[in-house]
Amino acid sequence: MKKFLKYLLLLIVAIVLFCGLFYKFWFLRQPARNVPHDNHLFISPANGVVVSITRWDKDYLAVTKGKYGLITTWAADVDTAGYMVSIQMDPTHVHYQRSPLDAKILAHVHSKGNFNNALKSDNPYGIRFENEHNEILIETPDSNKYKIIQIAGFVARRIEDYVVPGQDVKQGDVIGLIKLGSQVTVILPHNTTIKTKLGETVTDGESVIGEVTAR
């Protein structure tokens, strides 16, 4: 019995040690990225899989207002039409978020909510609207506005935001972190040509989500 308890204790210590090392050296990794440094390209703020691409305008928002009213809230200070792209992350992805463009931080708003499993959303957007989230609104030098929304998941119960209103950020700068499985949704204005596709795995700081054209 003593021998069994000894092996059990060693197994528990090994598991705890493995989890600690995985978290510190794998999950919190921040690999260098080949940032394009081109403000005509909206690069992905997150590493994960694109699970939805939605074209929206005033009519679309009016139809979805009842059940998915949060889309209207998210889009209201970006444009009157545009795109919403959602990226889903699991524990194997890099969980730091990067600025998609050279821009100024206009605002950030944290909203409390649930921590439901981000991998089992039952709506067509793949977004856990009811979960805790953080909105970061940015504006580029040519007056285009965009929003990056960090969404917590079942395991991810902490969202970190590294920016403050009035701060200038460069394309590829680290702006936040969501711990463990989670989502990032972006709201883009109408003068964006989407360059990603459903099911694509995008890389933070490198993959192009959209190409920005003149208004």
Catalytic residue numbers read 182
Q: Cα dist. 90→34, 53, 80, 164, 181 in Å?
A: 22, 19, 32, 27, 4
Q: Are 134 and 108 spatial neighbours (Cβ–Cβ below 8 Å)? A: yes
Q: What are phi and psi of 206, to 5 degrees?
A: -130, -50
Q: Are 147 and 78 spatial neighbours (Cβ–Cβ below 8 Å)? A: yes
Can you tell me the distance from the alpha carbon of 81 to that of 77, in angstroms, rounded to the nearest whole number?
11
Can you tell me the distance from the alpha carbon of 209 to that of 7, in angstroms, rounded to the nearest whole number?
50
Exposed, middle or buried, 16 (CB in 10 Å: 0-12/13-18/19+)? exposed
